[in-house]
Amino acid sequence: MQKTEITQFIIDALNNMNYDVSEVTGETSLGPAGLDLESLSVAEIAIQVEDTYGVKFDEDEMETVALLTVSGLVDEIIKRVSVVHAD
């Protein structure tokens, strides 16, 4: 599982949701300091991640996810994927 591939997946998902991703980097915050994703957008990303990578973010984690950077989210996905595949 490559970090670049997941990063691109997230950027593509944001782009498909009509966010301006022209200047998005790994350091871009998903929250108010960066993309300022609405809670529905965070939930949509979480659903796409679950559908694609098989990892789940619980509802009570959405607020935490919204405060991550793009890289932070990618790292969290990789961590969860390795746990899922370790079972």
For residue 79, what are the domain limits?
26-86
Q: Give CA–CA dist 82/79, Å, rounded.
A: 5
Domain count of the chain? 1
Instruction: Determine the residue type at 71.
Output: S
User: Is 19 a member of any domain?
Assistant: no
User: Is 54 a member of any domain?
Assistant: yes
Residues of the chain with pLDDT under 70: 1, 84, 86-87
Q: pLDDT tens for residues 64-85? A: 999 999 999 999 999 999 886 7
CB atoms < 10 A from the CB of 2, how many?
Answer: 9
Q: Give CA–CA dist 43/83, Å, rounded.
A: 21
Contact call for residues 85 and 53 (beta carbons, < 8 A) = no
Convert 17-40 into a string of H (helix), E (strand) and C (coil): CCCCCCCCCCCCECCCCCCCCCHH
User: Is 4 a member of any domain?
Assistant: no
Q: What is the pLDDT of residue 57?
A: 93
User: Is 30 a member of any domain?
Assistant: yes
